[in-house]
Amino acid sequence: MKKIDLVILSRVLGNIGGVLAFAYAISCMVEGLNGDRFAALSAVGGPPLAIVGAAAAAARGVLDLLPLLVLIGTILGLLALQNSREMTIVKASGSSIWRAMSAPLVAMLVLGLAVGLGVDGGVTLLTRSLAPSALQGNSGESRPIWLEERGTGPNYRMVANFVDPSGAQLRDVTIFMLDPPRLRIEAPVVQLADRHWVAPTAQILRSNQSPQLVTDYPLQSSSTLSDLRAKLTAPNDQTAFELGNVLSGRLTDPTERPQALTRFLKLVFLPVTLAGAMVLAFAFTASYQRTSRYGRAVLSGIMLGFVFYVVAEMASRAAYVGVLPPPIAALGPSLLVLVVGATVLLYREDGRA
């Protein structure tokens, strides 16, 4: 890497870091106003735990806006290079925009990979670990979990007060059969195996009859273990590796699979998304101007980046409900912004390599 690459890289990454720090500070202030969460976490672990909860929620908000923040940070970094005339020197030395953009682009690919597979997972695990504490409060009880089964087999609703981390075992369970005769089944533990719930011990309650104790009571289910894990944990509350395990473990639920696949692909393609944001910033800000009036170019780049963010979110929502294929929803907006940015650069720089 040449010294000129280091100069451009330091200016761009420094401004991106400044924008991220500013956005994180604002997000912390906003999350600190969540009185319900602060009170719940303070009751469990005191003010330090509440502060950690607000910091984790703020980090999640920054990660959701990461492509737009990278775009703004890159624009500010390029403006700093333009105001100091360093970008003019770069071009006068014979380097094109494509050459100047290469080092920051590689850095964005590495950063996107690190965030998608590492940082996002860490924030997700931290946020998820605080959720049970917030729900427990002073009573030490968690919210019940409701599951419903409707299909070719028996129709029933199941409520459990506790679930094991693996998702394959529920505790303190009550099952309400929806088909006549409407039985109620109570079991301390039920386990999912081979598309069947099995209760080692259970009590069957019928109207006007004495309770019947049974052992190894089976109940047919259309859900796999991956389906159950997806139902118990939202896709946004799972890491990329957990989503990969769920998707590879026979996730068949037609509602949960598109959501899990879309979230997984967005994390995998995050490097492409960040690279597209950077190309867009270079396209609207890195061109030479004799004056220092870059307001129109900056505003155009930010507005186009905001449109890209809205389109990406709309595509994700469409994929969640099965209207749009998840690969198109996850990769389509990123490729679109890459094509737009590259087209603008080719038009302004005549495709010079």
Tens of pLDDT, residues 282-332: 887 876 555 566 677 677 777 887 888 888 889 988 998 888 899 999 889
How confident is the prediction for the chain on average, in pLDDT? Answer: 81
User: Whole-angstrom Cα distance, residue 128 to residue 45?
Assistant: 16
pLDDT digits (tens, 9 = 90+) for 187-215: 999 988 777 888 999 999 887 788 889 99
Distance CA 256, CA 238 (A): 13
Strand partners, 285: none
Nearest to 213 by CA among 191, 193, 188: 188
- Residue 25's pLDDT is what? 94
pLDDT at 235: 73
Q: Using the predicted structure, report yes or no on whether residue 133 has a pLDDT greater than 50.
A: no
Confidence grade of residue 231 (pLDDT, cut at 50, 70, 90): low
Q: Smallest Cα–Cα separation from 217: which of 191, 183, 252, 250? A: 191
- The residue-averaged pLDDT of 142-152 equals 73
Give the phi and the psi of residue 111 in degrees, each rounded to 5.
-60, -45
DSSP one-letter code for 236: G
Q: What is the 3-state secondary structure (H, E, C) of 140-183?
A: CCCCCEEEEECCCCCCEEEEEEEECCCCCEEEEEEEEECCCCCC
Q: What is the pLDDT of residue 128?
A: 76
